Amino acid sequence: MKRIKIKELFIANPVGTKVCIKGWVRTKRISKQVVFIMLNDGSTIHNLQIVTEPEKFAEDIMQHIATGVSLSVCGTVIASQGGNQAIELQADTIEILGTATDYPLQPKKHSLEFLREIAHLRFRTNTFSAVFRIRHAISYAIHQFFHEQGFVYLHTPIITAVDAEGAGEMFSVTTLNMEQLPKTPQGQVDFKRDFFGQKTSLTVSGQLEAEAAALGLAEVYTFGPTFRAENSNTTRHLAEFWMVEPEMAFYDLADNIALAERFLKYVIGFALEHCKDDLEFLQKRELDARVGKQTDKSFLPLLDRLDNILTYPFACISYTEAIDILKASQPNKEKKFAYPIDEWGCDLQSEHERYLVEKHFTKPVIITNYPRAIKAFYMHQQEDGKTVAAMDILFPGIGEIIGGSQREERLDKLTEAIQSMGMNSNILQWYLDTRLFGTVPHSGFGLGLERLVQFVTGMDNIRDVIPFPRTPGNAAF
């Protein structure tokens, strides 16, 4: 008999029919008259309850059924006698596919730290199966959003000789034998003998290559891994993470902002529509964890936080307005900011962003037109001579979720910016070419996928929203 997925079974509710189910035992309860086995097959957060009489099967089968064991069960779908589901399965045959002696995932609450150490098994837990199904839905929605509007998905290079940010620590990539490095006559490492004939690194962004593509295909986006070799052991940093970077010819800053807001609402709406069960599970998990803890009056349950994103237009202010609000704010006057806001030009810290989003506006905030000095070389210089056409989108509890800008399309301004930052314009000659030949106004932004998954799932630590996190000292699995 063909296996049916538990998710499909709950949709069909085929009471009275014979089916075959395969999955992993979450729990077993046994009494003299009846055995209840909760089986999960990864297709949904919900388990299927299997009921049978203990004497119906050989004792060694019943004995071996325990948490973590994989089973193939055939039987008749019956209306549930209770429990959370409408149906359960009356077992005719039970086959043990794989045993699980000393299984580390016993049916009790495990800490997320412990589960991170067995990341290869955490796919079998409620929390992580929900998180990774939601991560999938978000990823799919991203592709669907861009595809529907005619964007071209572009695979920009991972190994690169370019440093897109002009800053940021990078991982080196080499095939040289590090125990016996070839040297130049001057005694330096001879990278001419490396695989690519030069020094190469892992990309920190596909933006520059995506711009080149946008200046031909008009609307493109990347969705791939990017890397930062920063020694940051925080709940918000990974050495390897996934970025989405759309680049659009003929978009100015306003077009860029409108696209980004529409994009975030679309993706979060998709998750709400397609992952209701998983989100409800994570919401309950979060609420349970708060029981008995000090209450924060502004706290909203997960689904309300997501609904709010869809309901209200984002606030949109200039950097200058942001500084004015922050300067006049209670915490600034009371000297409660670690970095007091005194004058125009300073960079916004996380505490300032959180104040604007969580206290002042209580919704996402878009900040535009930052000082030129604190932003990257490729941003479009405004007429005022001191700001650039940047835009950051700040989310409650997350901070910056999107950073973008209109790009500098004027060759002279761009060349000057590269030189004034002391960057190597030779290596960027191809990038300058795109402004030399048929340049057009264009814009783009970057979204860190894991930050968005954190927001949608409510998970505190970024290491819990990527299957196998890479952080300083950790490349396990």
Binding test (CB under 8 A) with its own copies, winner from 9, 48, 91, 227: 227
Using CA atoms, how far apart are residues 281 and 274, in angstroms rounded to an integer? Answer: 14
The least distance separating its own copies from the CB of residue 450, rounded to whole angstroms, comes to 9
Interaction between residue 160 and its own copies (CB under 8 A): yes
Q: Which helix (H) or strand (E) holds 446?
A: strand 442-448
Is there binding between residue 22 and its own copies (CB under 8 A)?
yes
**Coil, strand or helix at 318:** strand
Phi and psi dihedrals of 327, rounded to 5?
-60, -45
Q: Does 196 bind its own copies (CB under 8 A)?
A: yes
Q: Does 45 bind its own copies (CB under 8 A)?
A: no
Provide the mask over 287-326, with x wherever binding to its own copies is found by CB under 8 A and - wherever it is not.
----------------------------------------
**385 part of the interface to its own copies, by CB under 8 A:** no
Our finding on whether 218 is near its own copies (CB under 8 A) is yes
Q: Rule CB under 8 A: say whether 368 interacts with its own copies.
A: no
Among 9-17, 80-88, 211-219, 354-362, the segment contacting its own copies (CB under 8 A): 211-219
- For residue 148, the SS3 value is helix
Sequence-distant (6+) residues with CB within 8 A of 452 are 138, 264, 267, 401
CA distance 33 to 295: 46
Please identify which residue in 32, 33, 81, 179 interacts with its own copies, judged by CB under 8 A.
179
Q: Does 242 bind its own copies (CB under 8 A)?
A: yes
Query: Does the protein bind its own copies through residue 161 (CB under 8 A)?
Result: yes
| CA 459/CA 398 separation, integer angstroms | 11
User: Hey, is 123 helix, strand or coil?
Assistant: helix
Rounded Cα–Cα distance for residues 468 and 15 (Å): 40
Amino acid present at 471: T
| CB-based contact 425:432 (threshold 8 Å) | yes
**Residue of 197, 201, 204 whose CA lies nearest to 166:** 204
Min dist CB 239 to its own copies, Å, is: 7
Exactly one of 112, 229, 346, 423 binds its own copies (CB under 8 A); that residue is 229
Q: Which of 301-309, 341-349, 414-422, 430-438 is the region at the interface with its own copies (rule: CB under 8 A)?
A: 430-438
136 binding its own copies? (CB under 8 A) = yes
> Would you give the DSSP letter of residue 359?
I
228/352 with CB nearer its own copies? 228
Question: Does residue 159 bind its own copies (CB under 8 A)?
Answer: yes
Question: Measured from the CB atom, is 234 or 311 closer to its own copies?
Answer: 234
With contact defined as beta carbons under 8 Å apart, do 404 and 376 qualify? no
Does the protein bind its own copies through residue 475 (CB under 8 A)?
Answer: yes
Give the shortest CB-451-to-its own copies separation in angstroms: 14
Single out the segment in contact with its own copies by CB under 8 A; choices: 315-323, 369-377, 381-389, 429-437.
429-437
User: Which residues ranging from 64 to 83 are in contact with its own copies (CB under 8 A)?
Assistant: 68-70
Whole-number minimum distance, CB 372 to its own copies, in Å? 23
Q: Footprint of its own copies on residues 97-126 (CB under 8 A)?
A: 97-101, 103-104, 118, 120-124
Cα atoms found within 13 Å of the Cα of residue 43, Cβ hemisphere only: 15
CA angle (246, 251, 257) in 5-degree steps: 70
Interacting residues with its own copies between 24 and 43 (CB under 8 A): 24-25, 41-43
* Residue 132 phi, psi dihedral angles, 5° rounding: -80, -25
Strands of the 240-249 sheet, one edge to the other: 152-153, 219-227, 240-249, 442-448, 399-407, 390-395, 365-368, 315-318
Tell me if 425 contacts its own copies by CB under 8 A: no
CB of 399 to its own copies, least distance (A): 22
Burial class from Cβ neighbours inside 10 Å (0-12, 13-18, 19+) for residue 110 reads: middle
The nearest distance, CB 125 to its own copies, in angstroms, is 8
